[in-house]
Amino acid sequence: MLTANPPEPGHPADPADAWKPPGDFSNSALLHWKIRLAYPRLGVLAHHFWSRPDLAVLYPEFLFHLHTFIRSSVPMMLEGAELARDLGDDDPVGPILAEYLEHHAEEERGHDEWLVEDLEVLGVSRQEVMERLPSTAAAALVGSFYYWMRHVHPVALLSYLAVLEGNPPVVEELEKSRAIAGLPEESFRTLLRHARLDPHHRDDLNDLIDRLPLTARHHELLALSSFHTIEKVSLVLEQILDAQDG
């Protein structure tokens, strides 16, 4: 069981105290292997969603909900970086994590604006995007990471990134979906850009996770928060489909 503050005594003062995953598993391979146990929940829905004949109707809804996630990315990473720095010298994960999150926040800056522009191509105004309330699933997902970062450990945020950047969009699949739906290419700019960027981000993230002296508690936190991410993103897709199907 995870415990809230204060940090548990197993916190390593020395990277040599880090927990070693079984066999040849690296830290990142272990996390992704656990994610694969839960991912069918999202994979089935994603396949169902992107295969729908009425994708042209569903797609603006998808982009709206995606915007509610993306607009939180940079602030959440910067918050995580600050919390990681605040851990101080006694936590060997903190400084490495803070440096990564600060760097990655800059890489992701402005992507919410790309999405607004894509939505405008589809006839959804900026005002509509900003005035509409996010889903409770989006709030529950993003809000949970603020909780975990603040009250357990900011390393939790890496699971959010591992799920969302760990299985990046594929250009050919996006082009196929777009063509079938008859949607303008300009409405896919955000996803197409991420299809090109995210494989690099995924590799950088894995490299970071492998460099961190993670404890067994960190690993459990990463797993539980990644499962939660999968569940809440799945819920968003379910809600889009349910709203359309009545």
Partner 1 sequence: MATNLELLQEKGVVPQDAKLSDAETAVIEGLSDEEVKTLVSIRQRLDKEMAEQGTTAIASGEATPSANFVV
- Go through the chain and tell me how many residues it has: 246
Convert residues 33-72 into a mask of x (bound to partner 1 by CB under 8 A) and - (unbound).
xx-xxxxxxxxxxxxxxx-----------x---x--xx--
- Cα gap 34→12, rounded to integer Å: 23
- Using the contact rule CB under 8 A, the part of the chain among 8-16, 95-103, 124-132, 226-234 near partner 1 is 226-234
The least CB distance from residue 88 to partner 1, in Å, is: 27
Is residue 165 close enough to count as binding partner 1 by CB under 8 A? Answer: yes
Phi, psi of 203 (to 5 degrees): -65, -40
164 contacts: CB under 8 Å, gap ≥ 6: 69, 229, 233
Q: How many CB atoms lie within 10 A of CB 209?
A: 25
Q: Identify which of 170, 188, 156, 195 has the alpha carbon closest to the alpha carbon of residue 77.
A: 156
How many residues bind partner 1 (CB under 8 A)? The answer is 59
CB of 10 to partner 1, least distance (A): 14
Of the pair 29, 96, the CB lying nearest partner 1 is at: 29
Render 168-226 in DSSP notation, one character per residue.
---HHHHHHHHHHHT--GGGGHHHHHHHHHHHHHHHHHHHHHHHS---HHHHHHHHHHH
Name which of residues 77 to 106 contact partner 1 (CB under 8 A).
none
The least CB distance from residue 49 to partner 1, in Å, is: 8
In terms of Cα–Cα distance, which of 173, 184, 52, 168 is closest to 117?
A: 184
Report the residue number, 33 or 147, with the smaller CB distance to partner 1: 33
Residue 35 DSSP SS3: helix
Q: Does 147 bind partner 1 (CB under 8 A)?
A: no
User: Binding pattern to partner 1, positions 171-210, x when CB under 8 A?
Assistant: --xx---------------xx--x---x--x---------
Question: Which of these ranges, 4-12, 128-136, 163-171, 206-214, lies near partner 1 under the rule CB under 8 A?
Answer: 163-171
Tokens coding 51: 């295969």
Q: What three-state secondary structure class fits 47? A: helix
Interface positions with partner 1 (CB under 8 A): 1-2, 21-25, 30, 33-34, 36-50, 62, 66, 69-70, 73, 108, 111, 160-161, 164-165, 167-170, 173-174, 190-191, 194, 198, 201, 220, 223-224, 227-228, 230-231, 233-234, 236-238
